[in-house]
A and B are shown apart, each in its own frame.
Chain A
Amino acid sequence: MNIAFARSTVAAFAVQIEQFTEAEYNEIRKAVSEAVSNCVQHAYPDSVGTVSISVYIEGDLLTIVIEDQGVGIENVELAKTTEFTTKPDENLGWGFNFMEACMDEISVESYPGKGTKLTMKKRPHANDAQ
């Protein structure tokens, strides 16, 4: 499983936006980790599949698109609910909450049986107070 590879690679790419703070790079790593973990656990529960990640930088805006061709999510709103989990023994059901907390914007398009596309956006906030 390449979860560590995915989050490190995306964070390394994001370094091009120099205004991100160390805490913000950590948030980017966390959001990617949550997203890819979701794919591994839920999109491909009983099989090995491909997760593709595209990262774009436009000015100071970082956009991360994570796609799988897995089982899809029947009810996206329900899946985003805090503490909703299909595997209560080990999971907290906080994956989407972490992604929302770490990124400025997330959107999910999912088609049952076809897959899921997750888009996350983030800008540096170091200068917000000025």
Chain B
Amino acid sequence: MPVSVRKIGTMLVAEVVGDLDMVTGAQLKEAADQMWEHYETLSVFVLDLSKVGFNDSSGLGAILGRYKKVNARSGTMIIVGAQGSVREDLEISGISKLCLFKESLKEVAPAQE
């Protein structure tokens, strides 16, 4: 599956592999929202984009949609490993101002690599 989500303590870690577009964006929404809503103790949303090489505006929309859910709970969104054109799009869209950037998952969850 190009999208996987897991829970580590109060963190939800979502990983996308490949392209983040309308199709995988919808998968991200479904999987992440279900877990986020199920566990009310979740307060940090980690989105691992280190294996994403392409995104379009639907992909950005999926990220922003998740940010809104996180923000509604006064949580924090952390984007991990965004690079190249993916990183550029996050900057241009202003999404970068809404979340924290980390280079690798290790910085966020040291024991989980």
Chain A residues in the interface with B (C-beta under 8 A): 1, 3-4, 23, 26, 29-30, 33-34, 37, 40-41, 89-92, 94-95, 97-98
Contact = CB atoms under 8 A, between A and B. Distances in A.
Main DSSP-derived SS at the B contact region: helix
B91 to A, nearest CB: 14
Contacts of A37: 21-22, 56-58
Nearest to A97: B57
Sorted nearest first, the 6 A-B pairs with minimum C-beta distance are A33-B56, A94-B57, A37-B22, A92-B61, A91-B61, A90-B65
A89 B26 CA distance: 12
A89 B65 contact: yes
Interface in B60-113: 60-62, 64-65, 85, 93
20 contacts: A1-B22, A3-B21, A3-B23, A4-B19, A4-B21, A26-B85, A30-B56, A33-B54, A33-B56, A33-B58, A34-B56, A34-B57, A34-B58, A37-B22, A37-B57, A40-B22, A91-B57, A91-B58, A92-B64, A97-B57
B23 A95 contact: no
A37 B57 CA distance: 10
Contacts of A94: 57, 60, 93
Interface in B9-24: 19, 21-23
Contacts of B19: 4
A33 B21 contact: yes
